[in-house]
Structure 1
Amino acid sequence: MKIKIVNKSKHPLPEYKTKSSAGLDIRANIDEPIMLKSLERKLVPTGLFIELPDGYEAQMRPRSGLALNEGITLLNTPGTIDADYRGEIGVILVNLSHEVTQINDGDRICQMVINKVEQAELIEVEELGETERGRGGFGHTGKQ
């Protein structure tokens, strides 16, 4: 698959770090460091603009190392970039740690995964079919 990308950042194009990586690393494109206080959230620009083919989306996902080591994650994860969006990709970072964290220009702040999507046709009905699970929801199978 080929995806058109405009790179207005100061950084190289996103890349897969290993042969089997699912996500492309996305970098912060900022003029000065961003200080994220505990529980604070900020929109971080990337300088990237993409043109996805119809039937695809880009999902913005946290980087596991940032989440584990620094408590930095994405507030709306996964964030969805629709095929018809042409604006700059922005990433909503949140600091879930108790410490102030600094985001620097060029830091790898998240990963972008490309997925195929379908739009469903909703059919309104009066009732749904029966299943063994039924209406069992959150925690209905127990903890162990």
Structure 2
Amino acid sequence: MQAADPFPEAPEILVTRDKGADPALPLPDYATAGAAGADVRADLRGGEMTLAPGEVALVPTGLRLQIPEGWEVQLRARSGLALRHGIGLANGVGTIDADYRGPLGVILVNLGGAAFTVTHGDRIAQAVLAPVWRARFREVAALDDTARGSGGFGSTGRG
């Protein structure tokens, strides 16, 4: 007996593969029932890529997404890669907009002290679906005062 879908009204993301992409690689998928991010894999067409310490590289996934309007997909670093190897996303969190149809690439950075090799099929990032709110910006003569005021970085205390 199949379990009921816990998110029956979740938006559907349509996916195509780039020409030459590995059809055997899984689509982004959730490793556990409680996972917020779907694992995204490197499509290096059977090869590998080595990032030297401090190096930034665009790692292809072989995928393109069609995200419903009103939503975005955020690409986030994998915590295990960050902790064990110093591998993160160079842009912090990458945003894939609903109107983008180009190749999905992950901009990895090696913040660690040793070279790191990405192998074909490695899980390199997490994709998190998020709703998008578009703000209306309006110029005014002055802003309301607050207790913090214009105090910037570190103004509320250490850390």
What residue ranges of structure 2 are gaps of 5+ in the alignment?
Answer: 1-10
- In the TM superposition, residue 118 of structure 1 has moved relative to its aligned partner by 1.2
* Alpha-carbon distance between aligned partners in 2 of 1:56 and 1:125, rounded to the nearest angstrom: 30
- In the TM superposition, residue 12 of structure 1 has moved relative to its aligned partner by 1.1
What residue ranges of structure 1 are gaps of 5+ in the alignment?
Answer: none
TM-score (norm 1): 0.96
CA contact (8 A) 1:58 1:112 kept: yes
Residue aligned with 1:50, SS: strand
Which one of the candidate residues 6, 9, 13 is aligned to 2:27?
A: 13
* Alpha-carbon distance between aligned partners in 2 of 1:45 and 1:114, rounded to the nearest angstrom: 20
Question: What CA RMSD, in Å, does the superposition of the two structures yield over aligned residues?
Answer: 1.1
Which one of the candidate residues 84, 91, 101 is aligned to 2:99?
A: 84
Q: Quick one: which amino acid aligns to residue 110 of structure 1?
A: A
Match of residue 101 from structure 1:
116
Residue aligned with 1:94, SS: strand
TM-score (norm 2): 0.87
Residue aligned with 1:47, SS: strand
Is residue 36 of structure 2 the alignment partner of residue 22 of structure 1? yes
Is residue 64 of structure 2 the alignment partner of residue 64 of structure 1? no
* Alpha-carbon distance between aligned partners in 1 of 2:71 and 2:128, rounded to the nearest angstrom: 10
* Alpha-carbon distance between aligned partners in 1 of 2:70 and 2:146, rounded to the nearest angstrom: 31
Q: Quick one: which amino acid aligns to residue 127 of structure 2?
A: M
- In the TM superposition, residue 6 of structure 1 has moved relative to its aligned partner by 1.1
Residue aligned with 1:46, SS: strand
Match of residue 46 from structure 1:
61
Q: 1:8-33, CA deviations, whole angstroms, 9 ceiling, x for partnerless residues? A: 43201111111111100000000321
CA contact (8 A) 1:7 1:13 kept: no
How many residue pairs match? The answer is 144
* Alpha-carbon distance between aligned partners in 2 of 1:49 and 1:62, rounded to the nearest angstrom: 19
* Alpha-carbon distance between aligned partners in 1 of 2:86 and 2:107, rounded to the nearest angstrom: 14
- In the TM superposition, residue 130 of structure 1 has moved relative to its aligned partner by 1.1
